Amino acid sequence: MSTTPATYRAPTPYDSPSTQIGPAGSPVRRGPRDDVPALTFTALVRVEFVKMFNTRSGFWLMASIAILSVLASGAVILFGGENAITYANFSAAVGMPIAILLPMLAILSVTSEWSQRTGLTTFTLVPHRGRVITGKALVTVSIGIVGILVAMGVGALGNLLGAAVHDIDPVWEFGFTDLLMVMLANVLGMLMGFTLGVVLRNSPAAIVGYFVYSLILPNVFGALAFYQESFADVWPWVDQFYNVTSLFERVPSDQEWVQLAVTTVIWMGVPLLVGLRFLFRSEIK
Amino acid sequence: MITIDALSKRYGGFLAVDDVSFTAQPGRVTGFLGPNGAGKSTTMRVMVGLTPPTTGAALVNGRHFADLPNPGREVGVLLDASAQHAGRTGRDILKVAALTMGLPLSRVDEMLGLVGLSDEEATRRVRHYSLGMRQRLGIAAALLGDPHVLILDEPANGLDPAGIRWMRDLLRTFADDGGTVLLSSHLLHEIEVIADDLVLIGNGRIVAQGTKTDLLAAAGTVVRGTDVDALAVALKAAGLHVTRTPDKALHTDASPDMVGRVALAAGVALTELRSADGAGLEEMFLELTAASQREGVAA
């Protein structure tokens, strides 16, 4: 085979690259380009949105929220008795998978820039790391809220279907405030994932970190309170996961709101600030 | 135009880039040459704001990279063709970049055509790309915003000979149109055929820089004649430093023009007279970087 460019893969472009590189009428490439529009935050948010869906892992993470909600609702109808057919049960069933999946989504939205090394391109095209991270946070939380609504909607359909199957009147007993609390709990869960992503900038480490936070720490706190009675009074002031989880069950009292706020500052506010500081100064390789 | 001004980067006790200054001019291809680990990639990352410098500055068209209103439209960057999400398709990678820069998506297909990635290849996930395909995708991404400056780190890696030739033509045209091209390589031959200017770096320090012509002239002249001994005597008599090469030619620091005139005066018929380009520059490259090479040069 000849090595002339004309016979290499796509013939035409190789013959005259000059006519192909830029749009017609821009043969001269000198000096700064003040003719181009500046980057916009809207475009950045749109890009982050597209990036959430156009990878295989991102797509299936999203799809699994819908799929698992359907499966969870189906399980309540199949295995729950007549008494189990209440919206509270359906929302708890669909809430379980999303409470785990949404933080993962938040983690990967940040860490994939490092673990998949896409940050090399992302932060070159947009050399303002704060803007990129803010865009990611906005997109992640928005997708999370839509995800919650989808899951709760599937749960509502499940409740209707279950009531029809068992030939009873659907039991709702789930108000707007309850929905808000579920939203808040999930958004806080996502922000915790986001924080771990910012601090650790590594997908496996951040995912493990989230499970330490949600599975191991609560047990450690429980054990502490069991062996050290004085700790029991301090517990609600240090265990954020417990405070977040109780949002699924009830609207917090005034004191519980303060406890939620204090633990959120300790577990998310401070690490996020420190993590962002390092992230802004770090070297992206 | 790229201006690097007294740039240094220190990692703990290790000085990766040591007081580096050079410019890459518009209308010219500047080759950034050095052995692996010499500091080329670090310098390039500093240029695009991915690595904060310890001291000094890198300016693109007179501005810090972060101050460019839309960097992708001004500077095409390819630092590592493998740094892409393995689960994303080639087309989606370009689409994301085009959206970021505010370009119409038609530009994506134009660029795929330019680098010769077929529709079928563009819809494959990058996980299944060869290094050569990734490299061409990276070049497509760099050219997407129709920039005036190109910063390419080892862009010929993984390309087949025809692909390397194609890229050479593309960069030549880009520079002839007035664009600034900075490309790095650790392979001398690769960069010698394309670059107008050369910057040689070893151990974080610039060891030589200048136009390729000047550096080649510094590499001297190789000459052969019917009577090599007489020629050597004549050249020495003219005050030139002469060495014999193993293949019975003579090497001198003087220009071919000078050597020709000496030979004419001495009445020696020449069978070959040329500047000691390839070999000469290579020797210089090895010599200049020998001290800084990790393994040293094998005897």
What does the pLDDT look like over B174-193, one tens digit per residue?
999 999 999 999 888 888 88
Q: With a cut of 50, say whether residue B77 has pLDDT above it.
A: yes
Binned at pLDDT 50, 70 and 90, residue B299 comes out as very low
Could you read off the pLDDT of A78-100 as tens digits, one per residue?
A: 998 888 899 999 999 999 899 99
Inter-chain contact A29–B178, Cβ cutoff 8 Å? yes
- Nearest residue of chain A to residue B60 (CA atoms): A32
A3–B165 C-beta distance less than 8 A = yes
* B112 inside 8 A of chain A by CB: no
Residues B269, B156 within the same domain: no
Say if residues B222 and B249 touch (Cβ distance below 8 Å): yes
Residues of B in contact with A113 (CB under 8 A): none
CB contact under 8 A, A17 and B173: yes
Range of the domain at B111: 2-209
With a cut of 80, say whether residue B40 has pLDDT above it. yes
Strands of the sheet with B180-185, listed across from one edge: B75-78, B149-153, B180-185, B29-33, B197-202, B205-211
Q: What is the largest CA-CA distance in chain B?
A: 70
Place of tokens 């940040």: A110
Helices (H), B227-268: 228-237, 256-266
What's the average model confidence in pLDDT over B205-233? 86
Same structural domain, B61 and B185: yes
Quick one: pLDDT band at residue B36, thresholds 50, 70, 90?
Answer: confident
Q: How high is the pLDDT of residue A30?
A: 67
The pLDDT, as a whole number, for residue B27 is 95
Q: Given CB atoms, is B165 within the 8 Å cutoff of chain A?
A: yes
Using a CB–CB cutoff of 8 Å, tell me whether B59 touches chain A.
no
Selected residues 11-40 of chain A with any CB under 8 Å from a CB in chain B? 13-14, 17-18, 20-23, 26-34, 36-40
C-alpha triplet B109, B114, B116: angle, nearest 5°: 90
| Residue B43 belongs to some domain of the structure | yes
The CATH number that applies at residue B224 is 3.30.70
- The first and second tokens of residue B130, run together, are 């060869």
Whether residue B56 lies inside any domain: the answer is: yes
Scanning every residue of chain B, which has its alpha carbon at the shortest distance from the alpha carbon of A11?
Answer: B116
Contacts of A126 in chain B (CB under 8 A): 71, 100
Query: In which region does residue B146 sit, left (phi positive, over 0), alpha (psi from -120 to 50) or beta (all else)?
Result: left
Residue A12 has pLDDT above 50, yes or no: no
Q: Write the burial class of residue B280 (CB in 10 Å: 0-12 exposed, 13-18 middle, 19+ buried).
A: buried
| A119, closest residue in chain B (CA to CA) | B83
Any idea which of A26-40, B8-22, B112-126 has the lowest mean pLDDT?
A: A26-40
Is the pLDDT at A162 greater than 90, yes or no?
yes
B146 near A CB under 8 A: yes
CATH number of the domain where residue B154 is located: 3.40.50.300
The answer to whether position B137 is within a domain reads: yes
Q: How many CA atoms lie within 13 A of A89 on its CB side?
A: 20
Interface of B with A in 17-56 (CB under 8 A): 26-27, 45, 48-52
**Arithmetic mean of pLDDT, B242-256:** 83
CB contact under 8 A, B95 and A50: yes
Looking at the structure, do residues B155 and B266 belong to the same domain, yes or no? no
Examine the pLDDT at A13 and tell me if it is beyond 50: no
Judged by CB atoms closer than 8 Å, whether chains meet at A36 and B179 is answered as: no
Instruction: Supply the pLDDT for residue A7.
Output: 33
The answer to whether residue B294 is domain-embedded is: no
> Number of residue pairs across A and B with CB atoms under 8 Å?
181
Q: Could you tell me the CA-to-CA distances from B189 to B116, B167, B173, B216, B283 in Å, in that order?
A: 25, 15, 20, 13, 12
* Beta strands across the sheet bearing B270-275: B242-244, B250-252, B221-225, B270-275
Cβ within 8 Å, pair A17-B169: yes
Measure the CA–CA gap between B12 and B265, rounded to whole angstroms.
Answer: 61
pLDDT at A71: 95
CB contact under 8 A, B50 and A123: yes
Distance CA A140, CA A134 (A): 10
Strand B270-275 with B180-185, pairing: unpaired
B241 CA: distance to closest CA in chain A (Å):
41
Distance CA A62, CA A49 (A): 12
Domain count for chain B: 2
pLDDT at B245: 79
Token duo for residue A17: 């690259």
pLDDT tens digit string along A212-259?
A: 999 999 999 989 988 888 888 899 999 999 999 999 888 999 999 999
Is residue B24 domain-shared with residue B56, that is, in the same domain? Answer: yes
Q: Tell me if B287 is assigned to some domain.
A: no
Give the H/E segment covering residue B197.
strand B197-202
A149: left (phi over 0), alpha (psi -120 to 50) or beta: alpha
A92, A260, A236: which is closest to A184 by C-alpha?
Answer: A260
Nearest CA in chain B to A18: B173
Q: Are B85 and B230 within one domain?
A: no
Task: Return the domain boundaries, chain A.
Answer: 39-203
With contacts defined as CB-CB under 8 Å, which chain B residues touch A281? 52
Which residues fall within 8 angstroms of residue A69, CB to CB, at 6 or more apart? A94, A97, A98, A150, A151, A154, A155
Any domain includes B86: yes
User: Which of B147-156, B157-166, B264-273 reaches the highest mean pLDDT?
Assistant: B147-156
CA distance B37 to chain A (A): 14
Q: Are residues B131 and B101 in the same domain?
A: yes
Q: Is the pLDDT of residue A156 over 80?
A: yes
B34 and B103 co-located in one domain: yes
- DSSP labels, A185-197: HHHHHHHHHHHHH
Identify whether residues B182 and B236 lie together within a single domain. no
Of B79, B83, B87, the CB nearest to A56: B87
B155 touches chain A (CB under 8 A): no
Is the ipTM above a cut-off of 0.90? no
Query: Nearest Cβ partner of A29 from B95, B110, B148?
Result: B148
Assess if residue B153 is contained within a domain. yes
When pLDDT is averaged across residues B73-93 and rounded to a whole number, the result is 95
pLDDT over 60 (residue A3): no
| Residue where one domain finishes, among candidates B209, B232, B263 | B209
Give whole-number Cα distances, A38 to A25, A33, A45, B68, B71, in Å: 21, 10, 15, 8, 9
Closest CA to B175 of B27, B4, B58: B27
Search chain A and give the residue with CA nearest B53. A283
Q: Are strands B250-252 and B221-225 parallel, antiparallel or unpaired?
A: antiparallel
Same domain for B160 and B268, yes or no, is no
* Contact assignment for A44 to B100 by CB distance below 8 Å: yes
* Closest residue to A13, CB basis, from B97, B116, B118: B116
Helix (H, G, I), strand (E, B) or coil at B243: strand
Minimal CA separation from B40 to chain A, in Å: 13
Q: What is the pLDDT of residue A20?
A: 43
Are B131 and B258 part of one and the same domain? no
- Looking at every residue in chain B, the average pLDDT score rounds to 90
- Helix, strand, or coil (residue B129): coil
Q: Which class for B164: exposed (0-12), middle (13-18), buried (19 or more C-beta within 10 A)?
A: buried
pLDDT for A105 beyond 80: yes
Confidence at residue A215, expressed as pLDDT on a 0 to 100 scale: 92
According to DSSP, the residues that pair with B132 across neighbouring strands are none
Whether B183 and B36 map to the same domain: the answer is: yes
Q: Return the number of other C-beta atoms located less than 10 Å from residue A236's C-beta.
A: 20
Residue B282 placed within a domain: no
Round to whole Å and give the CA distance between A180 and A176: 6
B55 and B174 both lie in a single domain? yes
Q: What is the mean pLDDT of residues B160-171?
A: 92
Cβ neighbour number for residue A179 with a 10 Å cutoff = 14
Q: How far is B89 from chain A (nearest CA, A)?
A: 8
Distance from CA of B123 to the nearest CA of A (A): 12
Take residue A9 and report the two structure tokens written for it: 């893969």
Secondary-structure percent of chain A, ordered helix, strand, coil, rounded to 5? 75, 0, 20
Report pLDDT for B256. Answer: 85
A16 three-state secondary structure: coil
Round to whole Å and give the CA distance between B200 and B281: 11
